[in-house]
Amino acid sequence: MKLCIKTKLEYKASVIINSISQFLVFFTYYFMVVALFDKFNNIKGFNLYEIFICFGVIHFGYAFCETFFRGIDRFEDHIIKGSLDRFLVRPKNILLQILVSEVDFVKVFKALQALIIIVIGIVKLNINLDILKIVTLANMLISSVLIFLGIFIFTASYCFITVDGLEVKNLFTDGGKYLAEYPISIYKKGVFIFFTFVIPYGFINYYPLLYLIGRTNNILYAISPLVTILFTGLSVVVFYKGLKRYTSTGS
């Protein structure tokens, strides 16, 4: 990871320009949400600042994975270029090697901006952050990282069959990210069920959110983000199943 950062810093102008662009791109998402609420007071009972928390949590997890787990995000490159073979002959865990094989630290600015959006939402809603609500918020942030990590690993497994799994990955990462910017209860029943029991975005951006903003006192809502551990664990199992099918590129 240190080597990746030092390599990027060899091109300082590029780093500065990319950092500024990442900063501006994130706020285009932010202003889109603000513009939406300029026309509507709420969406299915959720106001702007409640959406801010949901928005910030989802973007934090995605940006964190883009920053520190870029290797698994571009897993198809390892298969196409044959670099996966190099990882396989090293006496270290294969998945760990892939995860840290590339770091895009410029994306960390998006994660910091997401945290700022969350703080704005909490302050504007005047949420009394007791110990349990702090734990709930921490669970939401950690689980947001875990669900995107799980999706990256799961779609990497798909590459063992098709080599290039970009379209499938984008469907659940970029597509899922934009959908999960809002509480999933605002969508149709089929979408709500899919993103609760198949890809559990609901356990990040809906159930714990209800507890955090005081709409329920059910303690199960506070700990519901832990469900994402099961999702990520299953993705790891699928990855190693797929790895057994790998036959190298022949290069």
Is 88 within the bounds of a domain? Answer: yes
> Looking at this protein, which amino acid is placed at residue 28?
T
SS (H, E, C) 186-232: HCCHHHHHHHHHCCCCHHHHCHHHHHHCCCCCCHHHHHHHHHHHHHH
Tell me the CA distances in angstroms from 198 to 106, 185, 190, 195, one per residue in order: 31, 15, 11, 6
Q: How far apart are alpha carbons 73 and 172 in whole angstroms?
A: 12
Domain count for the chain, please give it.
1
Is 249 within the bounds of a domain? Answer: no
Under 8 Å CB-to-CB from 182, ≥6 apart: which residues?
43, 46, 51, 54, 55, 205
Write the pLDDT tens digit of every residue in 164-222.
655 666 777 777 788 888 999 999 988 889 888 888 999 998 999 999 999 999 999 99
Is 248 within the bounds of a domain? Answer: no
Tell me the CA distances in angstroms from 181 to 48, 53, 202, 204, one per residue in order: 12, 9, 11, 10
pTM: 0.88
Contact yes or no for 239/150 (Cβ under 8 A): no
Is 251 within the bounds of a domain? Answer: no
Is 250 within the bounds of a domain? Answer: no
- Mean pLDDT lowest among 60-64, 65-69, 220-224, 246-250: 246-250
Provide the pLDDT for residue 142: 95
Mean pLDDT, residues 108-124: 91
> Looking at this protein, which amino acid is placed at residue 206?
Y
Domain assignment of residue 106, given as a range: 2-243
